[in-house]
Structure 1
Amino acid sequence: MSEYAQIPMQFVGPVKVSGNTIEGEFEVPLATYETPLWPSVNRGARVSMNCAGGIKCTVVDDRMTRSVLFEAPDAGAALIALEKIKQARAELEHVVAGTSRFAKLIDLHSQIAGNLLFIRFEFTTGDASGHNMCTQAAEALMNHLLEKHPDLQYGSISGNYCSDKKATAVNGILGRGKYVVAELLIPGKFVRRYLKSTPEKIVQLNIRKNLIGTMLAGGSRSANAHFANMLLGFYLATGQDAANIVEGSQGLTMAEVRGDDLYFAVTLPNLIMGTVGNGKGLDFVLENMKRMGLDADREPGENSKRLACLCAAQVLCGELSLLAAQTNPGELMDAHRRIERK
């Protein structure tokens, strides 16, 4: 019999969101033990409510990946097989179509290392995050290719070139999951009133902390203050595979002074999440999805894109609030002492 871990959860917001897949005012759930996260994200959400259009979210891309590993006699044989595989694209798409109603092969990338051939298959997966759907499709593709190319031998169903739940450059470059950009233009008076800071201070700290500091630390395709905090809270509250915050937190924060205003944006190229599939049938998850308006019938893939937009919006809110707090000496630790210490 399963037991359940109880994690404190609150809804934050409302947050105002607009974009190519979603528009309106929404409350968003966060499950976390770090209780200062709720008022911090709420502060960012309050700012969004006072800005024209709120947070603009753009879904740039949507794909899920699985890389497979073949062993060839040598690099030459691997290259010959790869060239034939690329020429048989329609055949591969047909194989994938036989594994699922929703999985579609949209691209593939490859690497040859010695006599090893790595192929990174990329799929769309409807409203599912797509872990199992992609693995099932990749398994069918492997079996098909092993039959067509007798020089190849099975290496692994996952060759780590995917790359699943690991901080790698390939995901940021090629994308894995939903690629979402969230942007907010904040009048200077609201930066001063609600964030107790200035556009200039936030821009300077973003450069020094997120860009220079992360570079000195050797960060990989990442320059942000704490994306992982908001991602974990959101993932746990919506039934996602929480380990995917590893690649999900590889993203960029941008801040610019525009006249008297602050332009603030977060870019998340690896948001792996869905509204159907394992974990989504739990009562609290269903209720949270309903409260966010994600229980309606829409075209396949639309609900999961809307979910990704809400996720990116609350990441922006939390990132903005923390950077503002860190422009003021003592504010961050004071908040933790007041809220967390009993």
Structure 2
Amino acid sequence: MSTSSPLDVRIPSRWVGPLRISGNAIDDSVEVPLATYESPLWPSVGRGARVSRMIEGGIRATLIDARMARSSLFVAPDAAAAHLAEQALHAREPELAEVVASTSRFARLIDLHTEIVGNLLFVRFALFTGDASGHNMVTNAAEALQAEILSWGLDLEYGSISGNYCTDKKPSAVNGDLGRGRRVVADILIPHEVLEGTLRTDAGRMVDLVVRKNLVGGTIAGSLRSANAHYANMLLAIYLATGQDAANIVEGSQGITYAEEREEGLYFSCSLPHLIVGTVGNGKHLSHVDEALEAMGCREEREPGANANRLAAIIAATVLCGELSLLAAQTNQGELMRAHRSMERGRGSATQRPAGTTGEERA
């Protein structure tokens, strides 16, 4: 078979929810599509979604920042020349902003950070990219920026269009520090009776598990800016269903779950500092992706970036649903494996949305 022949790959997919979400990017009840071979994920996220509907306002998703970054590498004769060039770049930043604006009607230079290692100058350009995730937009802008900078006579040579200080599809600290993609925090305050009646647990056991498993366990494992149970599960499922670059779950799954026992119940949060998602661009033209984004309300006429912000908020809330449900199960000895055995028996692989049914019924 020719390697260029089309390959029809079908991943079992279900609509789950609805999730009740509020915040500065969304205030709505939304069903979410999850494409996964791990069928217990559907009812697990569905249980978290059920909790969201039992609380006024549901899950609060707070969008904190939105940007895409590309780092370019320049080579100088020595560190002194690299430092002089670095100073010139910061002094002439308005000129660089004009270059970025000329490459796209949406691209806008937000910031630039520099790092010198020996005679190497790394320049990390951060851009607003509208509703696109922005991979190609920032690379295109970086090419124009490099050409402009090299024309300034700063004793620099081309090193690479991407110098790995971005950082794309690799775990790192820099994305959490400086931002890359959408930074969203999803949180919820769950009353004690909901914890006991729906999740079969209590606030004390949940807080203990978050500390002992996610924070301590993650630390001794050497996790990098990450303390969570399984963000990658929910991210991959919704990335595949909505036409995202699935490899970006590598950095997207770096996030921190935090919990507090309060008088009113359990405060539970999921902080996701770099969700690289978009509602336009590569992969978004496919019919099933278009249908999913439209059903999620991410194809509306809004100001640039607002649809992608809404999608990021939905994704963060979905992550919280799955994280909450899994951790609740793990507070009870034997529950996790019993649930997997039960849920994986007889699971279908329907991808359509049956008329007149809710996401929870399907999941």
What TM-score results when the alignment is normalised by the length of structure 1?
0.99
Q: Does 1:277 align with 2:281?
A: yes
| Partner deviation per Cα, 1:3-43 (whole Å, 9 max, x = no partner) | 23100110110110000111011101110000000000000
What residue in structure 1 maps to residue 227 of structure 2? 223
In 2, Cα distance between equivalents of 1:324 and 1:78: 52
Query: What is the aligned counterpart of 2:47 among 43, 50, 60?
Result: 43
* Aligned twin of 1:3: 7
User: Which of 256, 265, 269 is 1:265 aligned to?
Assistant: 269
Secondary structure (helix, strand or coil) at the match of 1:10 reads strand
The question of whether the paired residues in 2 share the 8 Å contact of 1:186 and 1:262 is answered with yes
Q: Does 1:71 align with 2:75?
A: yes
- Paired letter, 1:164: D
Structure 2 CA distance for aligned equivalents of residues 96 and 87 of structure 1: 16
In structure 1, the partner of 2:187 is 183
Is residue 202 of structure 1 aligned with residue 206 of structure 2? yes
Equivalent residues of 2:85, 2:154 under 8 A apart: no
**Which residue identity lines up with residue 297 of structure 2 in the other structure?**
G
Distance across 2 between alignment mates of 1:21 and 1:230? 20
Please say if residues 210 and 224 of structure 1, whose CA atoms lie closer than 8 Å, have aligned partners that are also in contact. Answer: yes
How far off is 1:145 after superposition?
0.5
2:64 partner SS: strand
What code does the residue aligned with 2:201 have? S
**Matched residue of 1:48: which SS?**
helix
8 A contact 1:47–1:194 mirrored in 2: yes
- Whether the 8 Å CA contact 1:199–1:261 is kept in 2: the answer is yes
SS at match of 2:14: strand
Structure 2: distance between partners of 1:63 and 1:290: 23
Partner residue of 1:107 out of 88, 99, 111? 111
Structure 1 unaligned blocks of 5 or more: none
- Stretches of structure 2 that go unaligned for 5 or more consecutive residues are 347-363
Structure 1 SS opposite 2:125 = strand
The aligned counterpart of 2:360 is: none
Q: Secondary structure at the match of 1:167?
A: coil
Determine the structure 1 residue equivalent to 2:328: 324
SS in 2 for 1:59: strand
C-alpha displacement of 1:293: 1.2
For the residue of structure 2 that corresponds to 1:253, the secondary structure is strand
CA distance in 2, matches of 1:260, 1:17: 20
Moved over 3 A (4+): none
Q: Is the 8 A contact 1:20 1:59 kept in 2?
A: yes
**Corresponding position of 1:232:** 236
Which AA in structure 2 matches 1:58?
T
Displacement, 1:337? 1.4
Amino acid at match of 1:181: V
- Is this contact kept in 2: 1:231–1:311, CA < 8 A? yes
DSSP 3-state at the match of 2:223: coil
Q: Distance in 2 between matches of 1:11 and 1:311?
A: 13
Distance in 2, Cα, partners of 1:46 & 1:169: 34
Aligned: 1:125 with 2:129: yes
Secondary structure, aligned partner of 1:161: coil
SS at match of 2:151: helix
Confirm or deny that 1:56 pairs with 2:60: yes
Name the counterpart of 2:352: none
Q: Kindly provide the amino acid, as one letter, of the partner of residue 56 in structure 1.
A: R
Q: Which residue of structure 1 aligns with residue 354 of structure 2?
A: none
Q: Residues 79 and 117 of structure 2 are in contact (CA less than 8 Å); yes or no, is this contact kept in structure 1?
A: yes
Quick one: which amino acid aligns to residue 183 of structure 1? D
The reply on whether 1:308 has 2:300 as its aligned counterpart is no
Separation in 2, partners of 1:140, 1:295: 30
Render the CA deviation track for 1:201-259: whole Å, top value 9, x for unaligned.
00000000000000000000000000000000010000000000000000010111111
Secondary structure at 2:103's aligned position in 1? coil
Determine the C-alpha separation between the residues in 1 that align with 2:257 and 2:179: 17
2:294 maps to: 290
Cα deviation, residue 341, structure 1:
5.0
Partner of 1:29: 33
* Aligned-residue RMSD, C-alpha: 0.9
Amino acid across the alignment from 1:137 = A
Matched, 1:169 2:173: yes
Number of paired residues?
342
Match of 2:25, SS state, is coil
Using the aligned pairs only, state the percent identity: 61
* Counterparts of 2:154 and 2:228, CA distance in 1: 47
Q: C-alpha distance in 2, partners of 1:198/1:318?
A: 17
Match of 1:98, SS state, is helix
Residue 94 (structure 2) pairs with residue 90 (structure 1) = yes
Out of 256, 259, 262, the residue aligned to residue 255 of structure 1 is 259
Query: Offset of 1:149 from its aligned partner?
Result: 2.8
3-state secondary structure, aligned to 2:15: strand
Is the CA contact (8 Å cut-off) linking 2:100 and 2:144 kept in structure 1?
yes
Shift of 1:339: 2.2
* C-alpha contact (below 8 Å) 2:73/2:123 kept by paired residues: yes
For 2:343 and 2:261, the matched residues in 1 are separated by: 32
Q: Which amino acid aligns with 1:299?
A: E
CA contact (8 A) 1:81 1:149 kept: no
